[in-house]
Amino acid sequence: MRLCSTFLNAALGKNRKRPFFPAVLFSGLFFCTAPLSVNALEAALNFIPDNEGGKISVRVSGIDEDELRAHILMGSRSRIVYNIRLYREGRVMQILGDRLLFEGNPVQEARWDMYSASWEILHADGQRRFYTDWKTFFKKFMELDGFRVPHSIAGSTEALDGKLYVLARASFLKTVLKAPLSILQAFPGREEAKSPWSRLGLP
Amino acid sequence: MEQAGPSMKLQWKKNSGGSLAVLAGLVFSYILLVALVLLFSQQVLLDFSLGRTIVLSVIAALTILFSLLLLFVIGAQSFELFRGAPREKPGVRFKLRLVIFFLVVIVLSSVPQAFLCVSFINSSLLAVFNSRVGQSLAAGRSIALEYYTEKAQHLEELSGGAVFRRLLSGADREAASVWDQIRVLLPGANAFQVFRSSGARVYEAGDSRNFMDAETARLAQEGPFPREITASGADVLRTKKSFENRRGAFFAVLTVAMPADFAASAEDLAATFEAYRQFEQYRPAFLAAIMLLYGFFSFPLMLLAVLASFRLSDEIVRPIASLEEATRKVAEGDFSFRILFRSGDELSSLAGSFNSMVMELEKSRLKSMQTEKVAAWQEIAQRLAHEIKNPLTPIKLSAQRIQRRYSEGAEDFEAVLDSSVAAIIHEVDSLDALLTEFRSFSRLPAPKPEPVILKNLILESAAAYRGSEKILFRCDEVPAGIRLALDPGQMKQVFSNLVTNAIDAMPEGGEIIFRAALVKKGNSRYCRIEVEDTGEGIREEDVSQVFNPYYTTKSYGTGLGLSVVERIIFDHKGQVWFESHPGVGTTFFIDLPASPASGAGETTGDAGTLEA
């Protein structure tokens, strides 16, 4: 119990009189092995075609809403990184594999704005938007809405024909650490969860 | 310094090309590791969650790969070192001690560095993010919050007040006038828009960059809007107020923009406060991570240092091992051995001194040998003169007797003549035999070695001495498997001479025992043969002269038997010596060089007993 107490105190930074090096050791272990408070993260895809190609929407689920709310209210910034890839299936019996036509990695960040007492999202398009309603905020944060997939590859005249499909994945980072603490994100077992790749065939 | 002769053996295998390659490899590895560390230190401040970890992964993979490679090389070196330890190879134990010493020094110097590094980072962070900074940040944040809240409250109070309601009642017709009055009441007001309830624009004044979209405004609820960052980057607060008059239903949107520097400063303040709070929370974990990373990058550097220590200990041990081997060679009598040295350090000076010493020893030995040779020839000449003079006296006496008897006209002259001439002929024959043996000793040919089974050779040599029932030959301690490269004729003479001496030493009879075994000493192998008798032994005063030519204690001997034995054994690159105890017996020991194919000396040979 005493060991556990030291462990938690070190990790949470509550006891300022704790021994320094045991605290460092236990905190390191804690950080590297802390289980994520997210269930199996999932990313659901939707594609709406238009004249310029189409827009991808990704809806993320599996994140504990109450815990995220409490976490953000404590002053932390959370982040979801979306990995979106557009492929064309291989034409000659798939010997050469599928061809990657386009890749985008939009990022959304969420935090609590103490000045306006509202929830803030830094959207993938660079816009900062504020929400006074948690439900709306959470819904907006959990989705990437209307990410444009081009109808041709930049710098190429090749049209996006053939059998196309999109692979997408979401990576949720509970706390965005500032440098130099960001070095902690290099260790496995950090507070990050990734969804498996979801596939959506394009019409 | 005297030049080494053509047969001189040079040691100290200094491979300067290989050393340079190893040195270059070590330097290249060090530079590569330092480059990896520098590259990592540049990556470390990046946000890993944004997918920039590929370089980091490459650095980590390269470092792990490099560590594994170094571990493999060190493992191979260690295996080589420990494999040589049981064989007592020269310098192995010293090298092992040196490597362990270097390893301990490396670890002892690295551990305090790690703690110093982590402690320094911790102290630096504490100096930046101390409680006073925390308090200042909190205070600044409170002030900014207060300012922001005040702005928001002013807007809310104005929009909810009766004055604003009264002003808006005519806003559709006298909007410009209303906007002027609003700016008096609310100095921070930035934009003012009036719409019909349908969304149609009626009036817009102020900073057009902060105007609100009509449709968004129409759909928005009455009252204050959430904070908004406009497309121009302005931080604005808005409020919506609906009103009606005789001309219809309208709504107005009043916008207040925060000062540009305030918004940026407030954001910076919030970001810094967030960093401070994270530092408070994650400092122990961060320091643990630093220690881990320090270990991660220090490990291959430590391995590199261990590898360098292997190389360095090689450099130190090689000349010492060469010296040790050279000393052993000189002790074994090989004075032609020299140590090759190239560098100009103290060990090279030592090698130079050693070479000079061996050269001086060689000179002294040659001089001593020359002196001994002269003395030996003097001794031989003296003994030869003595041996020749001995028969001359009876010859002279016999001649004088003949002369005297003849002058006297003795009646028995004929008988005297016969006996005296017979005596002279006998002495001349003895003299002839003596000179013949001397000539054969001095002209002993070089041995012509051929593979010989030792036991057979001994049995053949001893077989010639059948006849005496009082002498028992025993050869059961000579293994049958020993094969040596010997000149069979010369070696038969060796055994024959030794057996003759043994039989002469046992007039009352006794045993002659042959023994042989293969012996391995260091890297050399030889066969030790023993010939033991149970005779009267050699007197102490004769011990030092036994091998001298013409030295004999027997009345009928020539004194060349053991000299011939010594000469033949020397020509076979062997050694001969003896141990004798008066009244107990004498054992002659002969060491002859043997090859690994000579057979198992430990193999018990066929029991063989030969009775003469």
Residues counted in chain B: 612
Same domain? For A13 and A79 the reply is: no
In chain B, which residues have their Cβ closer than 8 Å to the Cβ of A131? 226
In chain B, which residues have their Cβ closer than 8 Å to the Cβ of A175? 278
d(CA B266, CA A110): 17
Q: Closest chain A residue to B59 measured between Cα atoms? A: A186
Q: For residue A195, give the DSSP letter.
A: P
- Residues B383/B560, Cβ–Cβ less than 8 Å: no
pLDDT at position B46, please?
67
Helix, strand, coil proportions of chain B in percent (round to 5)? 60, 15, 25
- Residues B323/B354, Cβ–Cβ less than 8 Å: yes
Give the distance from residue A41's alpha carbon to the nearest chain B alpha carbon, in angstroms.
16
- Beta strands B510-521 and B471-477, pairing class: parallel
- Residues B348/B319, Cβ–Cβ less than 8 Å: yes
Same domain? For A166 and A155 the reply is: yes
pTM over 0.90: no
pLDDT at position B513, please?
92
Q: Hey, which residues 309-338 in chain B have their CB within 8 Å of chain A? A: none
pLDDT under 70: residue ranges of chain B: 1-19, 44-55, 84-90, 341-345, 466-468, 522-523, 555-557, 599-612
pLDDT at position B48, please?
61
Q: Closest chain B residue to A131 measured between Cα atoms? A: B226
Query: Does residue B116 sit at the A interface (CB-CB below 8 Å)?
Result: no
Same domain? For A2 and A72 the reply is: no
pLDDT at position A131, please?
92
Give the distance from residue B226's alpha carbon to the nearest chain A alpha carbon, in angstroms.
6
- Beta strands A192-194 and A198-201, pairing class: unpaired
Domain count, chain A: 2
pLDDT under 50: residue ranges of chain A: 1-19, 30-38, 155
B205 has which bridge partners? B192
What are B408's two structure tokens? 């006297």
Same domain? For A68 and A106 the reply is: yes
Same domain? For A122 and A161 the reply is: yes
Q: From the list B50, B144, B228, which residue is nearest A81 (CB)?
A: B50
Q: Which residues contact A53 (CB under 8 A, 6 or more apart)?
A: A148, A149, A150, A151, A152, A160
Same domain? For A117 and A196 the reply is: yes
Same domain? For A10 and A98 the reply is: no
Q: From the list A25, A114, A184, which residue is nearest B145 (CB)?
A: A114
Burial of B178 (0-12, 13-18, 19+ CB in 10 A): buried
**Contact across the interface for A115 and B289, Cβ inside 8 Å:** no
B531 has which bridge partners? B514, B588
**Contact across the interface for B49 and A192, Cβ inside 8 Å:** yes
Q: From the list A12, A176, A184, which residue is nearest B286 (CB)?
A: A184
Start-to-end Cα distance in chain B = 60
d(CA B539, CA B128): 98
- Beta strands B524-533 and B483-486, pairing class: unpaired
Give the distance from residue A93's alpha carbon to the nearest chain B alpha carbon, in angstroms.
31
Q: Give the three-class secondary structure for A43.
A: strand
- Residues A113/A120, Cβ–Cβ less than 8 Å: yes
Interface-testing mutation among B37, B40, B49, with chain A (most A C-beta atoms within 10 A): B49
Within 10 angstroms of residue A125's Cβ, the number of other Cβ atoms is: 12
- Beta strands B228-229 and B235-245, pairing class: antiparallel
Query: Does residue B271 sit at the A interface (CB-CB below 8 Å)?
Result: yes
Same domain? For A122 and A23 the reply is: no
What are B44's two structure tokens? 């470390």
d(CA B247, CA B239): 23
The CB-based long-range contact list for B349-355 (8 Å cut-off, 24+ gap) reads: B350/B319, B350/B323, B351/B12, B351/B319, B351/B322, B351/B323, B352/B1, B354/B323, B354/B326, B354/B327, B355/B1
Structural domain including A20 reads: 1-33
pLDDT at position B59, please?
81
Same domain? For A26 and A121 the reply is: no
Among B482, B513, B494, which Cα is nearest to B608's? B513
Burial of B70 (0-12, 13-18, 19+ CB in 10 A): buried
What are B298's two structure tokens? 């220090």
Q: Closest chain B residue to A114 measured between Cα atoms? A: B145
Give the distance from residue A106's alpha carbon to the nearest chain B alpha carbon, in angstroms.
9
State the greatest distance between any 2 C-alpha atoms of chain A, in Å, as a whole number.
Answer: 68
pLDDT at position B33, please?
84
pLDDT at position A109, please?
94
Q: Which residues contact B404 (CB under 8 A, 6 or more apart)?
A: none
Same domain? For A13 and A51 the reply is: no
Q: For residue A159, give the DSSP letter.
A: B
Query: Does residue B55 sit at the A interface (CB-CB below 8 Å)?
Result: no
Q: From the list B141, B274, B282, which residue is nearest A77 (CB)?
A: B274
In chain B, which residues have their Cβ closer than 8 Å to the Cβ of A72? none
Kindly tell me the sign of the dihedral angle through the C-alpha atoms of B168, B173, B174, B176: positive
d(CA B302, CA B289): 19
Q: Closest chain A residue to B144 measured between Cα atoms? A: A115
Q: Which residues contact A57 (CB under 8 A, 6 or more apart)?
A: A45, A46, A47, A48, A143, A144, A145, A146, A147
- Residues A82/A169, Cβ–Cβ less than 8 Å: yes
pLDDT at position A60, please?
93
- ipTM greater than cut 0.85: no
Same domain? For A135 and A187 the reply is: yes
B527 has which bridge partners? B518, B592
Helices (H) and strands (E) in chain A — how many of each?
A: 4, 11
pLDDT at position A150, please?
73
Q: What is the CA radius of gyration of chain A?
A: 21
pLDDT, tens digit, for every residue of A1-27? 333 333 333 333 333 444 455 555 555
d(CA B274, CA B290): 21
Same domain? For A58 and A152 the reply is: yes
